[in-house]
Structure 1
Amino acid sequence: MTGYAIVLASRKLSRVQAVSTIASVAAASDVPVEVFATMEGLLPFERETVESGEFEVGPVGARMLEAEDMDVPLFTEQFAQAKEIGPLRLYACEMAMDLMGQDLDDYVDVFDDSLGVSGFLNRAQDKQVVFV
């Protein structure tokens, strides 16, 4: 195994934040990570959602958004920072974008590219796959 491939299919803020934290720690440790945001996992990355802060939240996500004493960057910032320091690549699912009539310009600028499932699986073939 040479790294991790994380499939992000959840729109819940706590899960998206968890993926960004795991991917960031791995990348900072020089462990290659490929993240594939698909289905509802793309929704938190929409520009309008990030700008409005209207994420789907549970108790932990709600606390994250209201906590002023926490020094935890939002997942978008965390992904951007991690990509600068380690081997982390983030992909948007082409099929999900097509279904919603969107393209990469509709999302915050953290994606390296868009891929179909086969393209992502090709990149993930030598990695431990995690589904969130």
Structure 2
Amino acid sequence: MSGYAIVLASRELSRVQAVSTIASVAAASDVPVQIFATMEGLLPFRTETVESGDFDFGPVGAKMLEADGAEMPLFYEQFAQAKGIGDIELYACEMAMDLLETDLDDYVDVFDDTLGVSGFLNRARDKQVVFV
């Protein structure tokens, strides 16, 4: 195994934040990580969602939104920081974007590219795959 491949299909803020934290720690530890945001997992990355703060969240997510950004950067900031530290790649699902009638310009600037499921699985073939 050479790193992790994380399939992010949840729109819940605490889950998206957990993926960004795990990926950031792995990247900082020289463990390569690839994230595939698909289905509902794409929604938190929409620029309009980030700007409005209109995330799906439970009690932990509510506390995250109340925290000072310096204490707890949100997932999109954490992903951007991690990309400057280590080997981390983020991909947006082409099929989900087609269904939503969006393109990468509609999302915060953290994605490396778009991929289909087969393209992602091909890139992740030597990695442990985790589904969130």
Q: What TM-score do you get using the length of structure 1 for normalisation?
A: 0.98
What's the secondary structure of 1:5's corresponding residue? Answer: strand
Give the aligned residue type for 1:30.
D
- The 5 A counterparts of 1:6-21 are 6-21=6-21
Return 5+ residue gaps in structure 1 as ranges. none
Distance 1:69 1:6, change over 3 A: closer
Q: Which runs of 4+ in 1 moved over 3 A?
A: none
**Once the 2 structures are TM-superposed, how far is the Cα of residue 70 of structure 1 from its aligned partner?**
6.9
**Once the 2 structures are TM-superposed, how far is the Cα of residue 69 of structure 1 from its aligned partner?**
8.6
Matched, 1:27 2:27: yes
Give the aligned residue type for 1:54.
D
Q: What TM-score do you get using the length of structure 2 for normalisation?
A: 0.98
Q: Distance in 2 between matches of 1:103 and 1:67?
A: 31
Which residue in the other structure is 1:62 paired with? 62
Between the aligned residues of both structures, percent identity stands at 81
Which residue in the other structure is 1:76 paired with? 76
Return 5+ residue gaps in structure 2 as ranges. none
Between the two proteins, the alignment pairs up a number of residues equal to: 132
Contact 1:64 1:70 in 2 (8 A): no
Q: Distance in 2 between matches of 1:27 and 1:50?
A: 24
- The 5 A counterparts of 1:42-61 are 42-61=42-61
